[in-house]
Structure 1
Amino acid sequence: MRRTAALLAVPLMLLALPQPATAQTPRPAPTIAWGPCDPADEAPERVVCAEIDVPVDWSKTNGSTVTIALAKLPATDQARSLGPLLINPGGPGGSGVNFAYGAADAFSTAITDRFDIIGFDPRGQARSNVINCDLDAIIAQSALLYPKSGAEFSALREANRALVQTCSALSGPLVKFADTASVARDMDAIRAGLGVPKISYYGVSYGTMIGQQYAELFPGRIRAMTLDSNMDHAQNIASYQKWETLAMEDSFLQFTAWCDRTAACALHDEGALAYYDALYARAEDGDLVVDGWQVKPEELLNLIFGYLYDPAGWFFLAEDLLWVGGDTDSARSKRGEPVPNGYLPVMCSDFRFELGSYAQLRALEKAQNRLAPHTRLNPLAWTDLTGCQNWPYRVTNPPHKLKASPKLPPILLSNSRYDVATPYQWGQSLASQLPSATFLTYDGVGHGTYWLSPCAQAAIDTYLVERRTPAKGSHCPAVFPTSPSSLTAKSGTQYPLTPGLRGVTEG
């Protein structure tokens, strides 16, 4: 899900091992009763909604609960229905309910004809007991996510701890139980509530983490599973930063090369890479100013990051790089209000990001700068790291290689060769952990192969319906824009400046 924000917008951070068994009597499977959706949502025709309650802490199944929101688009051809296809659009923070609302447009008729498409908002997100945090604390943290000294690193650690305290005060104990393994267990509760022995699943970006954990915990309950634009839970701090940073650099170089060979690109005559490097140097020197506001290097990075999710917006990226020197008019954000902020509670529960000192952080930053001389580092990965420093709760879902069961059916994985949010190497790593998986490569740029490549979409459709995977080692050709896309909205005063979620673009 790519986010857009005005130049002065605050960069709000919007991303398992099983819990030990207990001797208590398991909670009965919830019953899912479908009915009308919230009138305020204006859900599309035929879509129905429901809720189920699941344990906050899956090791205490008779304890407090969290309510999970669901939406379903029934199969058009009910006589030939293949059952439920659960879906997740990524994040952490993406709304599966919204994804289901838009499923008729998001998926081909090959999918909507044959599946009851079911989206759910994961615990702590959107309609499922959303985790709120205080906006003042978010603003204070956001100003420190790129520390340049030991003092700033210490201030960041204090700000992170203060932020989490507001999240706990506003949202309760769920903040400690937002990990992906718990989400996977919630998904199996949905399966039980549907009354089916097996489900099909499509997850993109962070949604692949949910699918991976489900495959590890419940291998015999999968009919078919497609994981598109994969995360890799086995990454450590160094490899996480390395592959994200290289993905940022390589994806941006694909943009500049495209611009140089595309006469209609606004930077074609300027030389896109040289122009950007000069802009970055001005930002480093404090000389890049928009409407009296000094643009920092990380804000320039965030600008290009958002556009690398989908080449359809590259004409606008070139225009916006030119536009940075013009006037903007941004409204101030309201402060002191509770706002949804469920991203870091998931990421800081799923990965070990704690560093011992600013010296370690600085050494890691220098290493990323050497890897990526133009883009320096990946702002999404970097703020994952810095945002989790001094996190007060334990990592409940420690990173690990998947333990693949022989019960797993054939699984289809797909990744773009150049993906700024989920690097190609993560998909390769995941494929090595899942012997039953077939890995499909889209040789182009972007995030979410199903919407970037007709070839990938056809392969995914065929697999989900027929459970027939493409040949091992299959590739889909790259697709580059030839004219400004009518599907990409452009605003004269807004463009992506904050890191995007790992997920599909809404709207």
Structure 2
Amino acid sequence: MPFNPPLAPRSKGRRRLAVGALVTSLFGQLLAGTAVAAPSDTTPSAKTPSPGRIAWEPCESPSGQGTFECATIKVPVDWKRPRGATIDLALARHLATDPERRIGSLLINPGGPGGSGVDFALDAPDSFSPELLERFDIVGFDPRGIGRSNPVMCDEDRVGAQAELLYPDSASSFAALREANRALGENCRDLTGPLVDHMDTASVIRDMDAIRVGLGEKRISYYGVSYGTGIGQQYAERYPHRVRAMTLDSNMDHSLDNWNYQKTETVAMEESYGQFADWCARTPSCVLHDRDARALFDSLYQRAEAGELVLPGDPPYTVTTQDLQGVAFGYMYDPATWFDFAQFLSDTDAADPAAGRTLRQRGEPTPFGYLPVMCQDYDFNVSSYATLPRYERKLARLAPVTRLNSLAWTDLTGCQDWPTEVTNPPHRLRVDGTPPILVTNSRYDVATPHSWGSNAARQIGREAVFLTYDGVGHGDYWLSPCARDAIDTYLITLKAPREGTHCPAIWPTGPSAQRQSPTGDLINPLPDLLGAGTHR
């Protein structure tokens, strides 16, 4: 699920570092977009775009592995005006390695909003099991406004100006934030065109069904992770009889109001950090093994809050509370990074220049598709600044160590007075008539909490089968061999695990320089595709 925009260079006053830029530096740069292509106009007499069969052409993955084809498909900018302007969506597919036993197409989405489904598909030989690769064409698409599909572009300086204000501490700074949000949204519209007003998930699922038609499939199989589960949930709701199989891994909950969105995310952050602290206490090779990691974070937070957490350098770096929360959030995506996280906390406490070097790293500016989606899918507006400190006090009582969830908080603040309409407002899912849908969630998921997955499964109802991975992290397919096997078996055979199945937690035993997942020889692609901690 989601993006915290990077800040402009730090000011001479109290200097802040945006969560997005910070965590991107830890996990690799975000997906780079292509140049902006203006939507193409059709004449008023033109017929509704009909994709027909997709015209595939051979293409290669960056690794050179696998047999791939690439294509584009034309869809309306506004599905309510199908004869109006159109854009081209980019697609890639990895052809089934056992074509005689091919089941069909498996559409995939890696989340975000902002992750590239094309790159997700190009990573398929390294990221999905040989069994899935044998039986399915793995098909990824860049959703509208993302990656190669007419990316939303915004002025870097306006992105930075907004990011400086995402943690308002007064009515005047809240007013400045609202002004910056509106200016940024209007700038995105100026640079990108009318597509900015049609980035909601309801439009994406219409696009996905056009892809289904173009593939020549009566029914599709689908695997979505993180925000990709929101696409799957709403596709199943609108097109239940066009689903063959669907796995929703690390789930969104599109039914939440503002407070419950903040509450569930913050509780997930606190619980995830608690799991890290407990792991460190029982793991001798953790550098904080002999210390109380909860007390350490609280001490660092209080020092940062007082402006007393300064790292040496030229110039010195004053660590903010937002820095600490953002770094902690990012490291909760995958326990494989916890040895590094423990070292970072130790270095920061000791005022080691190594921590300062980590904090000073910056990601390159990127296209900005995240908020245009989130601000049309959720009504985050609050009536006045007074709501924010009230939320902060309540959240701090729920999460006395970590205080709040940085991603959820900047979703809330980043959408204040955003200039587009909430065209796809939150609602309870109404799914009826699909085959069984496999819903999976980690017990401790900092981006898409376990309560979101269980609530989504309840909303789906009898069609849902809910599986819990009892560990920490985001993206069960790469965290748990048990979950991966259940997902593979279900997608291939349509045999779902028993309702309420639990998969055991897996804990890191030694530092790892690679993104190797515990699921065989697979590589977890999400950190590179999304920038962990900056998207869902």
Q: After superposition, what is the alpha-carbon deviation per residue over 1:143-185, rounded to whole angstroms, capped at 9, x for unaligned?
A: 1100011111000000101111110111111111000111111
1:1-43 deviation line (CA, Å, top 9, x unaligned)? 89999997644488xxxxxxxx99643234311113389x576
In structure 2, the partner of 1:20 is none
Shift of 1:469: 0.6
Q: Is the CA contact 2:380–2:412 (under 8 Å) kept in the aligned structure 1?
A: yes
Is 1:28 aligned to 2:61, yes or no? Answer: no
Cα 1:165–1:181 change in 2 (3 A) is: same
Q: Deviations over 1:370-391 (max 9, x none)?
A: 1100000000000000000001
Could you tell me whether the CA contact under 8 Å between 2:49 and 2:74 is conserved in 1? no
CA deviation vs aligned residue, 1:282-336 (integer Å, no higher than 9, x gap): 101101112312111011000111010000110110001122222234778699x
Q: How does 1:187-266 map to 2 (within 5 A)?
A: 187-266=208-287
Report what 2:335 is aligned to.
Answer: 311
| Contact residue 20 and residue 533 of structure 2 kept, 8 A | no
Q: 1:102 to 1:198 in 2, by over 3 A?
A: same
Partner SS, residue 269 of structure 1: coil
2:484 alignment partner in structure 1: 457
Deviation string 1:238-282 (CA, Å, 9 cap, x unpaired) is 110000000000000000010011110011122212222111111
- Decide which of 396, 404, 411 is 1:384's aligned counterpart: 411
Give SS of 1:151's match. Answer: helix
CA separation of 1:35 and 1:501: change in aligned 2, threshold 3 A: same
Match of 1:126 among 112, 126, 147: 147
Moved more, 414-423 or 29-38: 29-38
Letter of the structure 2 residue corresponding to residue 37 of structure 1: C
Moved more, 125-134 or 287-296: 287-296
Q: Is the 8 A contact 2:280 2:288 kept in 1?
A: yes
Please give the alpha-carbon distance, in whole angstroms, between the structure 1 residues aligned to 2:532 and 2:301.
Answer: 17
Corresponding residue pairs, total:
485
1:466 paired to 2:493: yes
Is the Cα–Cα contact under 8 Å of residues 87 and 203 in structure 1 kept in the other structure? yes
The 1:297–1:152 alpha-carbon spacing in structure 2 relative to 1, beyond 3 Å, is: same
- 2: CA distance, partners of 1:296 / 1:126: 32
Please tell me the residue identity of whatever aligns with 1:221. R
C-alpha contact (below 8 Å) 2:224/2:249 kept by paired residues = yes
User: Conserved in 2, the CA contact under 8 Å of 1:3 and 1:306?
Assistant: no
Distance 1:246 1:150 in 2: 27
Amino acid of the structure 1 residue aligned with 2:328: I
1:293 has 2:314 as partner:
no
Contact 1:209 1:231 in 2 (8 A): yes
Residues 471, 78 of structure 1: alpha-carbon distance in 2 compared, 3 angstrom cutoff = same
Note the residue ranges of structure 1 that are not aligned, 5 or more in a row.
Answer: 15-22, 490-494
The Cα of 1:108 is off from its aligned counterpart by 0.6
Q: How does 1:62-73 map to 2 (within 5 A)?
A: 62-73=83-94
Match status 1:416 vs 2:442 = yes
Does residue 347 of structure 2 align to residue 347 of structure 1? no
Deviation of 1:367 after TM superposition, in Å, equals 1.1
2:96–2:138 Cα contact (<8 Å) kept? yes
Task: Give the SS at the match of 1:91.
Answer: coil
- For residue 334 of structure 2, what is the amino acid of its counterpart? D
2:473 matched to 1:446?
A: yes
- Give 1:438 shift: 0.2
Does the Cα contact within 8 Å between 1:93 and 1:501 map onto a contact in 2? no
Cα distance in 1, alignment partners of residues 360 and 270 from structure 2: 32
Identity %: 55
Deviation of residue 473 (structure 1)? 1.2
The residue type paired with residue 196 of structure 1 is E
* In structure 1, C-alpha distance between the alignment counterparts of 2:65 and 2:156, rounded to whole Å: 32
Corresponding residue for residue 137 of structure 1: 158
Q: What do residues 443-500 of structure 1 show as CA deviations (whole Å, max 9, x unaligned)?
A: 11100111111000000000000000111111001111111124249xxxxx99x972
Which stretch shifts more, 288-297 or 50-59? Answer: 288-297
Q: Does 1:320 align with 2:347?
A: no
Structure 2 residues not aligned, in runs of 5+: 11-15, 22-29, 31-44, 517-526
8 Å contact kept, 2:54–2:73: yes
AA in 1 matched with 2:391: L
**Which residue identity does 1:411 align to in structure 2?**
I
The SS at the match of 1:420 is coil
Taking the aligned partners of 2:334 and 2:78, their CA distance within structure 1 comes to 37
Residue 403 of structure 1: how far off its partner (Å): 1.2
Q: Quote the Cα distance in structure 1 between the aligned partners of 2:199 and 2:253.
A: 18
Work out the CA distance in 1 between the residues paired with 2:196 and 2:72.
20
Could you tell me how far apart the structure 2 residues matched to 1:441 and 1:208 are? 15
RMSD after superposition: 2.5
Question: 2:386 aligns to what SS in structure 1?
Answer: helix
Structure 1 residues 241 and 75, CA, compared in 2 at 3 Å: closer, same or farther?
same
1:362 equivalenced with 2:389 (yes/no):
yes
Counterparts of 1:9 and 1:53 in 2: how far apart (Å)?
39
TM-score normalised by the chain length of structure 2:
0.86
- Please tell me whether the aligned partners of residues 380 and 499 of structure 1 are also in contact (alpha carbons under 8 angstroms): no
In structure 2, the partner of 1:436 is 463
Are the counterparts in 2 of residues 47 and 73 from structure 1 also a CA contact under 8 Å? yes
Q: How does 1:12-23 map to 2 (within 5 A)?
A: 12=20
Q: Is the 8 A contact 2:3 2:20 kept in 1?
A: no
Cα distance in 2 between the residues matched to 1:266 and 1:3: 30
